[in-house]
Amino acid sequence: MTKKFVSNKDETVRMFNNDFLEALSKVHPSVPLIIFLPIIFFMIYISVVDYKISTFNIIGLIVFGIFIWTLTEYLLHRFIFHLELKSELGKRIHFMFHGVHHDYPSDSRRLVMPPSVSIPLAAFFYFLFKLLIGSVSVKPFFAGFLTGYLFYDMTHYAVHHFNMHSKFWLAIKHHHIKHHFQDPDKGYGVSSPMWDLIFGSTFPKKDEQETSA
Protein backbone atom coordinates (compact mmCIF):
# COMPACT_ATOMS: atom_id res chain seq x y z
CA MET A 1 0.00 0.00 0.00
CA THR A 2 1.27 3.50 -0.83
CA LYS A 3 2.52 5.40 2.16
CA LYS A 4 0.10 8.18 3.08
CA PHE A 5 2.22 10.90 4.62
CA VAL A 6 3.69 14.23 3.57
CA SER A 7 6.53 14.69 6.04
CA ASN A 8 8.13 12.58 8.77
CA LYS A 9 9.98 15.58 10.22
CA ASP A 10 8.90 17.42 13.36
CA GLU A 11 6.97 19.97 11.35
CA THR A 12 3.36 20.75 10.57
CA VAL A 13 1.00 22.63 8.34
CA ARG A 14 -1.20 25.58 9.27
CA MET A 15 -4.83 24.50 9.69
CA PHE A 16 -6.59 27.77 10.56
CA ASN A 17 -6.29 31.32 9.27
CA ASN A 18 -7.29 32.58 12.71
CA ASP A 19 -4.24 32.72 15.02
CA PHE A 20 -6.26 31.85 18.13
CA LEU A 21 -7.81 28.74 16.57
CA GLU A 22 -4.41 27.74 15.21
CA ALA A 23 -2.91 28.03 18.70
CA LEU A 24 -5.70 25.87 20.14
CA SER A 25 -4.86 23.10 17.67
CA LYS A 26 -1.34 22.71 19.09
CA VAL A 27 -0.45 21.43 22.54
CA HIS A 28 2.64 20.51 24.56
CA PRO A 29 2.57 16.81 25.59
CA SER A 30 2.61 17.77 29.28
CA VAL A 31 -0.74 19.60 29.06
CA PRO A 32 -3.03 16.51 29.37
CA LEU A 33 -1.12 15.50 32.53
CA ILE A 34 -1.49 18.99 34.02
CA ILE A 35 -5.22 19.03 33.31
CA PHE A 36 -6.32 15.49 34.11
CA LEU A 37 -4.00 14.21 36.87
CA PRO A 38 -5.59 16.56 39.46
CA ILE A 39 -9.05 15.38 38.35
CA ILE A 40 -7.99 11.73 38.76
CA PHE A 41 -6.65 12.35 42.28
CA PHE A 42 -9.76 14.37 43.18
CA MET A 43 -12.06 11.57 42.00
CA ILE A 44 -10.15 9.03 44.09
CA TYR A 45 -10.06 11.39 47.08
CA ILE A 46 -13.83 11.94 47.21
CA SER A 47 -14.38 8.22 46.59
CA VAL A 48 -12.47 7.51 49.81
CA VAL A 49 -13.33 10.52 51.98
CA ASP A 50 -16.86 11.53 50.92
CA TYR A 51 -18.37 8.29 49.64
CA LYS A 52 -16.26 5.91 51.76
CA ILE A 53 -16.09 3.32 49.00
CA SER A 54 -14.06 0.28 50.01
CA THR A 55 -10.52 -0.05 48.71
CA PHE A 56 -11.45 -3.26 46.90
CA ASN A 57 -14.35 -1.58 45.07
CA ILE A 58 -12.28 1.50 44.20
CA ILE A 59 -9.52 -0.63 42.67
CA GLY A 60 -12.08 -2.73 40.81
CA LEU A 61 -13.85 0.33 39.38
CA ILE A 62 -10.54 1.95 38.39
CA VAL A 63 -9.46 -1.20 36.55
CA PHE A 64 -12.88 -1.39 34.89
CA GLY A 65 -12.56 2.27 33.83
CA ILE A 66 -9.16 1.60 32.25
CA PHE A 67 -10.60 -1.41 30.43
CA ILE A 68 -13.52 0.63 29.06
CA TRP A 69 -11.08 3.31 27.95
CA THR A 70 -9.15 0.80 25.81
CA LEU A 71 -12.38 -0.07 23.99
CA THR A 72 -13.33 3.62 23.68
CA GLU A 73 -9.90 4.43 22.27
CA TYR A 74 -10.26 1.72 19.65
CA LEU A 75 -13.80 2.71 18.62
CA LEU A 76 -13.00 6.43 18.45
CA HIS A 77 -9.89 5.83 16.38
CA ARG A 78 -11.49 3.38 13.99
CA PHE A 79 -14.96 4.83 13.48
CA ILE A 80 -14.62 8.55 14.27
CA PHE A 81 -11.02 9.58 13.55
CA HIS A 82 -10.93 7.48 10.36
CA LEU A 83 -14.40 8.45 9.18
CA GLU A 84 -13.84 10.00 5.75
CA LEU A 85 -16.86 11.87 4.39
CA LYS A 86 -17.11 12.73 0.71
CA SER A 87 -18.18 16.36 1.08
CA GLU A 88 -15.58 19.12 1.15
CA LEU A 89 -16.65 20.02 4.69
CA GLY A 90 -16.40 16.36 5.72
CA LYS A 91 -12.90 16.10 4.27
CA ARG A 92 -11.91 19.27 6.07
CA ILE A 93 -13.22 17.99 9.42
CA HIS A 94 -11.46 14.64 8.94
CA PHE A 95 -8.18 16.41 8.17
CA MET A 96 -8.44 18.59 11.29
CA PHE A 97 -9.34 15.67 13.56
CA HIS A 98 -6.90 13.06 12.31
CA GLY A 99 -5.77 13.46 8.70
CA VAL A 100 -3.15 16.03 9.66
CA HIS A 101 -1.55 13.48 11.98
CA HIS A 102 -1.23 10.93 9.19
CA ASP A 103 0.29 13.56 6.91
CA TYR A 104 2.66 14.86 9.61
CA PRO A 105 3.04 11.91 12.05
CA SER A 106 6.08 13.36 13.84
CA ASP A 107 4.60 16.79 14.55
CA SER A 108 5.32 17.04 18.30
CA ARG A 109 2.59 19.64 18.90
CA ARG A 110 -0.23 17.57 17.42
CA LEU A 111 0.41 14.18 19.00
CA VAL A 112 -1.71 14.53 22.14
CA MET A 113 -5.33 15.63 22.16
CA PRO A 114 -5.75 19.41 22.55
CA PRO A 115 -7.82 20.57 25.56
CA SER A 116 -10.34 22.15 23.18
CA VAL A 117 -11.27 18.55 22.25
CA SER A 118 -10.30 16.48 25.30
CA ILE A 119 -12.17 18.56 27.91
CA PRO A 120 -15.58 18.52 26.13
CA LEU A 121 -15.11 14.79 25.39
CA ALA A 122 -14.23 14.10 29.03
CA ALA A 123 -17.32 15.99 30.20
CA PHE A 124 -19.51 14.08 27.75
CA PHE A 125 -18.19 10.70 28.89
CA TYR A 126 -18.41 11.63 32.58
CA PHE A 127 -22.12 12.48 32.40
CA LEU A 128 -22.80 9.46 30.16
CA PHE A 129 -21.16 7.10 32.65
CA LYS A 130 -22.87 8.89 35.55
CA LEU A 131 -26.22 8.05 33.97
CA LEU A 132 -25.17 4.44 33.43
CA ILE A 133 -23.53 3.54 36.76
CA GLY A 134 -24.59 6.27 39.17
CA SER A 135 -23.05 9.33 40.80
CA VAL A 136 -21.05 7.33 43.38
CA SER A 137 -19.47 4.54 41.32
CA VAL A 138 -18.67 6.93 38.50
CA LYS A 139 -15.99 8.67 40.58
CA PRO A 140 -13.40 5.85 40.81
CA PHE A 141 -14.54 4.47 37.45
CA PHE A 142 -13.87 7.80 35.75
CA ALA A 143 -10.50 8.08 37.51
CA GLY A 144 -9.60 4.81 35.78
CA PHE A 145 -11.05 5.97 32.48
CA LEU A 146 -8.94 9.14 32.56
CA THR A 147 -5.88 7.13 33.60
CA GLY A 148 -6.37 5.02 30.49
CA TYR A 149 -6.71 8.16 28.40
CA LEU A 150 -3.49 9.64 29.77
CA PHE A 151 -1.65 6.38 29.16
CA TYR A 152 -2.92 6.50 25.56
CA ASP A 153 -1.84 10.12 25.01
CA MET A 154 1.60 9.63 26.57
CA THR A 155 2.10 6.35 24.71
CA HIS A 156 1.18 8.02 21.43
CA TYR A 157 3.73 10.77 21.99
CA ALA A 158 6.42 8.30 23.08
CA VAL A 159 5.85 6.01 20.11
CA HIS A 160 6.59 8.86 17.70
CA HIS A 161 9.44 10.53 19.60
CA PHE A 162 11.15 8.13 22.02
CA ASN A 163 13.55 5.28 21.38
CA MET A 164 12.02 2.06 22.68
CA HIS A 165 14.16 -0.79 24.04
CA SER A 166 11.95 -3.23 25.95
CA LYS A 167 10.01 -5.89 24.07
CA PHE A 168 6.70 -4.55 25.40
CA TRP A 169 7.23 -0.97 24.20
CA LEU A 170 8.76 -2.08 20.92
CA ALA A 171 5.66 -4.18 20.24
CA ILE A 172 3.41 -1.19 20.98
CA LYS A 173 5.53 1.06 18.78
CA HIS A 174 5.74 -1.33 15.82
CA HIS A 175 1.97 -1.87 15.95
CA HIS A 176 1.27 1.85 15.65
CA ILE A 177 4.01 2.57 13.13
CA LYS A 178 2.53 -0.11 10.86
CA HIS A 179 -0.79 1.73 11.11
CA HIS A 180 0.90 4.84 9.74
CA PHE A 181 3.23 3.41 7.11
CA GLN A 182 1.89 -0.02 6.19
CA ASP A 183 -1.91 -0.03 6.36
CA PRO A 184 -4.02 2.76 7.96
CA ASP A 185 -7.06 0.47 7.85
CA LYS A 186 -5.53 -1.81 10.48
CA GLY A 187 -3.94 -1.35 13.89
CA TYR A 188 -6.34 1.14 15.48
CA GLY A 189 -5.26 0.38 19.03
CA VAL A 190 -2.50 2.76 20.14
CA SER A 191 -1.98 1.90 23.79
CA SER A 192 -2.93 -1.76 23.28
CA PRO A 193 -3.38 -4.08 20.26
CA MET A 194 -5.97 -6.12 22.20
CA TRP A 195 -9.10 -4.88 20.42
CA ASP A 196 -7.43 -5.20 17.01
CA LEU A 197 -6.92 -8.87 17.80
CA ILE A 198 -10.53 -9.24 18.98
CA PHE A 199 -12.12 -7.40 16.05
CA GLY A 200 -9.79 -8.74 13.36
CA SER A 201 -8.11 -5.45 12.45
CA THR A 202 -4.59 -6.50 13.41
CA PHE A 203 -1.76 -6.93 10.94
CA PRO A 204 -1.15 -10.35 9.37
CA LYS A 205 1.90 -12.25 10.48
CA LYS A 206 4.94 -12.36 8.20
CA ASP A 207 4.29 -15.86 6.97
CA GLU A 208 0.68 -14.97 6.12
CA GLN A 209 1.86 -11.92 4.15
CA GLU A 210 4.37 -14.01 2.21
CA THR A 211 1.70 -16.61 1.40
CA SER A 212 -0.73 -13.99 0.08
CA ALA A 213 1.98 -12.19 -1.90
| Span 182-201, pLDDT tens digits | 999 999 999 999 999 999 99
Beta carbons within 10 angstroms of residue 169's beta carbon: 15
> Residue 15: its pLDDT value, please?
86
- Alpha carbon 117 to chain centroid, angstroms: 12
pLDDT confidence of 167, banded at 50, 70, 90?
Answer: very high
Quote the radius of gyration of the chain (alpha carbons, Å): 19
Residue 29: how many CB atoms within 10 A of its CB? 16
Residue 101 Cα distances to 18, 76, 78, 183, 203, angstroms: 20, 15, 14, 15, 20
Q: Where are the domains of the chain?
A: 19-166
Question: What own/partner pairs with CB < 8 Å and gap ≥ 24 does 175-183 have?
Answer: 175/202, 175/203, 178/203, 180/5, 180/102, 180/105, 181/3, 181/5, 182/1, 183/1
pLDDT tens digits, one per residue of 86-127: 888 778 888 877 888 888 988 888 889 999 999 999 999 999
22-26, 78-82, 183-187: least confidently modelled range: 22-26
- pLDDT value at position 149? 98
pLDDT value of position 210 = 47
Question: What is the mean pLDDT of the segment spanning 14-43?
Answer: 93
pLDDT surpasses 50 at 1:
no
Res 212 pLDDT > 60: no
According to the model, what pLDDT value does residue 213 have? 43
